[in-house]
Amino acid sequence: MLWLEDVHVHRGGTHALRGIDLEVRRGEIVALIGANGAGKTTTLAAISGLLRCQQGRIGFAPEQARIDISKVRAEKIVAAGISHCPEGRQIFGNLSVAENLMIGAYLRSDRDGIEKDLRAVHDLFPILLTRASVPGNRLSGGEQMMLAIGRALMSRPKLLLLDEPSLGLAPQLVEQIFDILARIRDEGTTVLLVEQNAAMALDLADRAYVLETGLIKLAGTGKALAQDADVQRAYLGVG
């Protein structure tokens, strides 16, 4: 569904991505792990059009036809079926939960479809219905994460990009969110997940990539990478 081929991104004076190749297949959860500054956030931003790549191609095939989205504007990329749930959640603090969710559907005009997806989001995250009229800045960190994921789902994406959903959350909450990510995948949305919590990401992911200083160092199934000695030493705190 998504292919990155030799993608390079420069940010300020930094060559942040130095030739990334990766693939996300329909129906998978793919995890991208790596240390701080490895380029994980930059990879997601290049896919969603928030950053431009200076070299390489990004192919996206939500259905049959494959399009090159590396030169397409961010808004059109959302319309094509990619939704980005950014690092730090970035919800609108002075707008209500319900208003934040509707912002996720701002490119859509199919009212029945929007209502159906809103019900599906409330089904995944019942707290967002209970707290519908509460301003975003009054939510707990976990609730804000749920709102950010719910908002991203309101564009009915084929591919959901998720940046650090576990950041700052208590372990129990992280487990709850990861269970919901599995459900989102099982209900038909493909997921590309960036995570610092490598153990949980590899446990959840069908496949994963290890990013180091702007390059893919390793790729494999989540299971295989979790058993790889180098990954265990560098990212899982083993040995």
Q: Which is nearer to ligand ATP, 18 or 122 (CB)?
A: 18
Q: Which is nearer to ligand ATP, 9 or 173 (CB)?
A: 9
Q: Which is nearer to ligand ATP, 21 or 99 (CB)?
A: 21
Cβ-Cβ contacts under 8 Å for 44 (sequence gap 6 or more): 32, 84, 86, 161, 163, 192, 194
Minimum CB separation of residue 107 from ligand ATP in Å reads 26
Minimum CB separation of residue 39 from ligand ATP in Å reads 4
Minimum CB separation of residue 235 from ligand ATP in Å reads 12
Tell me how far apart the alpha carbons of residues 239 and 103 are, in angstroms, rounded to a whole number: 46
- DSSP 8-state secondary structure symbol assigned to residue 137: G
Are the beta carbons of 142 and 170 closer than 8 angstroms?
Answer: yes
Q: Which is nearer to ligand ATP, 38 or 148 (CB)?
A: 38
Which residue ranges make up the site for ligand ATP (CB under 6 A)?
A: 11-12, 14, 16, 34, 36-42, 196
DSSP reduced 3-state for 108: coil
User: At 121, which amino acid appears?
Assistant: V
- Sort 3 into a burial class: Cβ within 10 Å, 0-12 / 13-18 / 19+: middle
Minimum CB separation of residue 224 from ligand ATP in Å reads 22
Q: Which is nearer to ligand ATP, 16 or 226 (CB)?
A: 16
Q: Which is nearer to ligand ATP, 99 or 212 (CB)?
A: 212
Strands 2-11, 55-60: pairing kind = antiparallel
Q: Which is nearer to ligand ATP, 37 or 142 (CB)?
A: 37
Are the beta carbons of 142 and 169 closer than 8 angstroms?
Answer: yes
Minimum CB separation of residue 12 from ligand ATP in Å reads 3
Minimum CB separation of residue 121 from ligand ATP in Å reads 26
Minimum CB separation of residue 85 from ligand ATP in Å reads 14
Buried b (16+ CB within 10 A) or exposed e, 203-226: ebbbbbbbbeebebebebebeebb
Give the Å distances, CA to CA, from 155 to 53, 103, 122, 165, 207. 24, 9, 15, 18, 25
